[in-house]
Each structure stands twice: as C-alpha cells, then as structure tokens.
Amino acid sequence: MRKTLTAIALAPLVAAGTAVAQELPISANVTIASEYQYRGFSQTNEKPALQGGFDFEHDSGFYVGVWGSNISWLSDSDPDISSSLELDFYAGYTMDVGPLGLDVGLLQYYYPGKFPAGFNKADTLEGYIGLSWEFLSFKYSHSFTDLFGFDNSKNSQYYDLSASYEITPGLTLDAHYGYQRIKGAGNDNYKDWSLGATLAYGGFDFGLHYVDTNVKGDKLADERIIASISKSF
C-alpha cells in the first residue's frame, strides 16, 4: 500500500559557522487502524493493525518506498504457517501529462515466516499504472507471479477507480470501487467498494470508512466500518 509522498524532512548543514537547512525528499507515516483491509478483505481477522512506512521521492519523479503491517490471514488459514507480517517494497515514476498525473511502478508483497512444504507462498509481484485528474484516479495492477498464493493465477488484474474530494478545509470524502480478476480462479473474481471520510486535525488524519464486497460466505469480506488514525512526518 503506497502512501502519498511528501518531502518534509530537513537536514541541517553547517558551513562557516552558519546552519543551512536543506530539504530532503524523505517522508514517514504510521497508522493505527481497527483492522487492516485490502481489496475488500480483512487481513487481520477484523482485529487492530499497526502500520507504517518510509518513502523517498526525487525531484525527477522517481520514488522508492517500503511499508509494513501486521497480518493474520495466512496463519488463520493454516496452523502450520507462522507469518504475521506483510512488507511492501515499491519503486516507480510519476509525471504530469497535461492535466493528467501518470504513475507507473512495481510493487513486491513479501510475507516472511515459516511455511509447510509444498505451500504456494503468498509473495506477489505486481506492476501498476495509474492516472489521476483533479479528485479522480484510476489504477490498473497486473500480477507477474501467482496472486497471493492462488495456484496458476499469474497475470491476474485489479482495477481501482477512486475519488477523494475535499469538501471543507481538512475534511475529505473518499470513495472507491474495485474489481479483482483472479486468473484461473473462475467464480473467485469479485468486486469491492468503500465510502468514507478523512479529517485532518492537530497534525493527525482521522478516518472512518464503510467497506463491502460482493463475496458471499466469507466473513472476512463482509460489510464493516473501519476507523483509523494516521500521522505523517
């Protein structure tokens, strides 16, 4: 999960007795959430999550970053699995094309831990391309490996249409609609959506969002309300 990149760190340089502040394109973020959901599914069995990451963005538009969160969905699915962490490593390039923003990159999902013999690990490599215009954005993701452990699911795709509109200073309405196509999985293809708001106050971002999918018979994909508190540095 890639965060918005902001250059907010300042490094002091001392020369001839004078301190000079130089802006560094590095940022960090931390989030506490009532649960970690991704593409409509709870990754923590509807239990709290602690998340955080670091980003570096160059003036040229090139960026790299790392982000992590606790998870439980792997160990919940098989008691022989001891994996409770997701780490995301990503790199890409952003630029403006007229009124549009363009974002292309690679994202590696990594799940360290102990797995039984023969288990198809959930580690996944995706490429993505995103377009944004004012408060609207669209992102297409394509898996270059099996998707999160699904057998023979290489070349799966995810389509993400989102909107983020600031209605008053500090208060933003968020909406999302997604479609996950899992290659070779037949009826496992599904849709997810969310609607909520984020309030920036006192240096923190407070979020409250409704999340749901069209998946039947899986409580991890049921409708629910997710609360979060985030801080960027």
CA-closest candidate to residue 41, choices 72, 68, 65: 72
Buried b (16+ CB within 10 A) or exposed e, 205-224: bbbebebebebeeeebbbeb
pLDDT at 188: 86
Average pLDDT of 88-111? 97
Residue 12 has pLDDT above 50, yes or no: no
Residue 195 has pLDDT above 70, yes or no: yes
Residue 11 has pLDDT above 60, yes or no: no
pLDDT at 187: 66
Residue 146 has pLDDT above 60, yes or no: yes
Residue 61: its H or E element: none
In CATH terms, 24-232 corresponds, of 3.30.310.50, 3.40.50.720, 2.40.160.160, 3.10.129.10, to 2.40.160.160
pLDDT at 228: 98
Asked if residue 50 lies in contact with residue 69, where contact means CB atoms within 8 angstroms, the answer is yes
Tokens of 121: 């690990």
CA dist 158 and 38 (Å) reads 12
Residue-by-residue DSSP string for 160-208: EEEEEEEEETTEEEEEEEEEEE-TT-GGG-EEEEEEEEEEEETTEEEEE
DSSP summary character for residue 79:
T
Question: Which residue carries 């923003």 as its tokens?
Answer: 101
- For the stretch 202-221, pLDDT in tens is 999 999 999 999 999 999 99
